[in-house]
Structure 1
Amino acid sequence: MSPQSWIDLKQDAETGIETIRAHFVGHAYDPHWHDSYLVGYTEQGIQQFHCRRTIHSSTPGKAFTLEPGEIHDGYAIAPDGFTYSMLYLDAQWVERELRALFEEAPAHCQPGFTQTLTENPTLIVAIQRAFSVLQQPELRIVRQTTLDTLLGQLTTQLHWRARQGLDPRLPLVAQRARDYLHDHLDQDVGLDDLAAVSGVDRFRLTRAFKAAFGIAPHAYLVQLRLARARHLLARGATPADVAVALGFADQSHLGRWFLRAYGLTPALYRKRCSNLPDA
């Protein structure tokens, strides 16, 4: 991260929502995903990123919405960089609240976003107000009303898609390998292990996996571990303990990957989310 770049992060204790305001010059972060819904807007500059196999350019006046698991990166294409504000919305919280809004929501479906970028001034205002109310002490009724307004605006970007274990659009061998990684994310998994459960050689498996999920199996495993690391750190676990629990070689190994994906160190993330002293 360049010396001109900075990140301000805070986690709301009641909802678990993370508020992030950041400025990046040059490269911001490597391809990664979150297990949260990401909702935000670019304040200044041009924020360029890859997502859904497309290059997007977010500029002031555009809101961006990403679903859990969507791989994206980030970088500035102008010398003065870009600044953005974003909310990380817990996936279970979002689905529960949206089902309260949609009394006829289909039973075996989950909420998704119809597009990644949209020019929607009303949605941006709702994001701004939610960001503000989560950053300062406020009456619960005000906070809840503000978040309800945000959810209401998100419905303009919403569609319900079938929740299914196997996606017919993706190669079965890649889905088997993905499921194995989820079940063994803390173990020293090899390509031969994935090939064995998938029923193909490791070269065909790697090609199928990249075609299905956009990254190689080893990078997917790292992202799984990083997503889990965020949860553990936010609950107060030390970076050293998290590194051991998730199969990283050591704390420095975790730190290098975490910084590349999220733009801040595990220790700083833990401090911002848990308010605990440095460990």
Structure 2
Amino acid sequence: MATHNWIDLAQDADTGIETLRAHFEGHAYDPHWHDSYLIGVTEQGVQQFNCRRARHNSVPGQVFLVEPGELHDGDAPTADGFTYHMLYLDPQWLTREVSAVFEEAPVNSQLSFARTLTDDPRLAVATSHAFRTLHSGELRIVRQRAMDQLLERLTGQLHWRRRYGEDPRLPWVAHKAREYLHAHLHHDVGMDELALACAVDRFRLSRAFKSAFGLPPHAYLVQLRLARARHLLAKGELPADVAITLGFADQSHLGRWFVRAYGLTPAAYRKRCTNLPDR
């Protein structure tokens, strides 16, 4: 990571919510996705990113909203770069917390953001306040009140939608391949094996998968492993052990992918989530 780029990350002990403040100049991170809901505010500069098959430019005061599994990247199109702060909200936590506001969720549905970028100033204020209270470790009652205020504003951006897994617009072969990758996350899966499991040739499988999910199968598998690596590292597991568990060649191999996606090393991420030194 370039010396002019920086990341300040913390994790709330009560909720597990991660808070991050960062600055990037030039290329920030490669296309990747998270298994959390992301809500953040651009503080300075222009934050350019691709998401939902469209390019967005977030400027100071705007709120950006990214769902679990949504592919996105990050770049600074101007010389001064961009600075932002953000919260990672666990899907189960968010669904539970908004249940008092929404009616019971329809069958096979999940919460979805109405848009990727919004100019709602009250949501921006609520997001920034929640970030500050969690990131600085304020009293529990202060943190909880700040999150309640954020949820009150956030519900205006939420609605229920059908889960991606049941989306009839996506081809069956893409669903089948994704299910296989999730089931064999820790294995050294080859394209021949995946194509055989889906009963199609490799080329048809690759075209269908990338059209459906925005990434070829091998890149999607890497993203699955990186998402799992975040969980294991946040629990205190060592980067070398995580690399072996998830099928990376070694710790360096995991580290290269991790930095490209998240902007910091596995060891740094583990330390900031757990305060444990790397061994």
Structure 1 stretches lacking a partner, 5+ long: none
Alpha-carbon shift at residue 125 of structure 1 (Å):
0.4
2:235 counterpart of 1:251: no
Query: Which residue number in structure 2 is paired with residue 275 of structure 1?
Result: 275
Query: Which residue number in structure 2 is paired with residue 110 of structure 1?
Result: 110
Query: Which residue number in structure 2 is paired with residue 152 of structure 1?
Result: 152
* Post-superposition CA distance 1:138-169 (Å, at most 9, x none): 33222111101101111111110123643201
What are the residue-to-residue correspondences of 1:1-279 with 2, within 5 Å?
A: 1-163=1-163, 165-279=165-279
Alpha-carbon shift at residue 101 of structure 1 (Å):
2.4
Q: What is the SS of the residue equivalent to 2:87?
A: strand
Structure 1 stretch displaced more, 137-146 or 80-89: 137-146
* Post-superposition CA distance 1:7-41 (Å, at most 9, x none): 00001111011110000000000000000000001
The code of the aligned residue for 1:273 comes to C
Aligned mates of 1:133, 1:206 — CA distance in 2:
45
Q: What is the SS of the residue equivalent to 1:101?
A: coil
The code of the aligned residue for 2:106 comes to P
Q: What is the SS of the residue equivalent to 2:219?
A: helix
**Aligned in 2, Cα 1:265/1:164: closer, same or farther, shift over 3 Å?**
closer
Superposition TM-score, scaled by structure 1 size: 0.97
Query: Does the Cα contact within 8 Å between 1:47 and 1:76 map onto a contact in 2?
Result: yes
Q: What is the SS of the residue equivalent to 1:14?
A: coil
Q: What is the SS of the residue equivalent to 2:192?
A: helix
Structure 1 stretch displaced more, 176-185 or 141-150: 141-150
Q: What is the SS of the residue equivalent to 1:100?
A: coil
Alpha-carbon shift at residue 103 of structure 1 (Å):
4.1
Q: What is the SS of the residue equivalent to 1:49?
A: strand
The code of the aligned residue for 2:24 comes to F
The code of the aligned residue for 2:158 comes to L
Aligned mates of 1:42, 1:181 — CA distance in 2:
34
Alpha-carbon shift at residue 99 of structure 1 (Å):
1.2
Superposition TM-score, scaled by structure 2 size: 0.97
Alpha-carbon shift at residue 178 of structure 1 (Å):
0.5
Alpha-carbon shift at residue 73 of structure 1 (Å):
0.3
Aligned mates of 1:112, 1:86 — CA distance in 2:
18
Aligned mates of 1:219, 1:108 — CA distance in 2:
27
Alpha-carbon shift at residue 104 of structure 1 (Å):
4.2
Aligned residues: 279
Structure 1 stretch displaced more, 153-162 or 216-225: 153-162
Structure 1 stretch displaced more, 158-167 or 178-187: 158-167
Query: Does the Cα contact within 8 Å between 1:2 and 1:26 map onto a contact in 2?
Result: no
* Post-superposition CA distance 1:80-123 (Å, at most 9, x none): 10000000111110111111322444354211001000101100
**Aligned in 2, Cα 1:53/1:232: closer, same or farther, shift over 3 Å?**
same
Aligned mates of 2:48, 2:37 — CA distance in 1:
19
Aligned mates of 1:141, 1:103 — CA distance in 2:
27
Query: Does the Cα contact within 8 Å between 2:12 and 2:137 map onto a contact in 1?
Result: no
Aligned mates of 1:137, 1:111 — CA distance in 2:
28
Q: What is the SS of the residue equivalent to 2:75?
A: strand
* Post-superposition CA distance 1:221-248 (Å, at most 9, x none): 0000000000000000000000000000
Q: What is the SS of the residue equivalent to 1:221?
A: helix
The code of the aligned residue for 2:32 comes to H
Structure 1 stretch displaced more, 220-229 or 159-168: 159-168
The code of the aligned residue for 1:56 comes to H
Q: What is the RMSD computed on CA atoms of the aligned residues?
A: 1.1
The code of the aligned residue for 1:249 comes to A
**Aligned in 2, Cα 1:76/1:145: closer, same or farther, shift over 3 Å?**
same
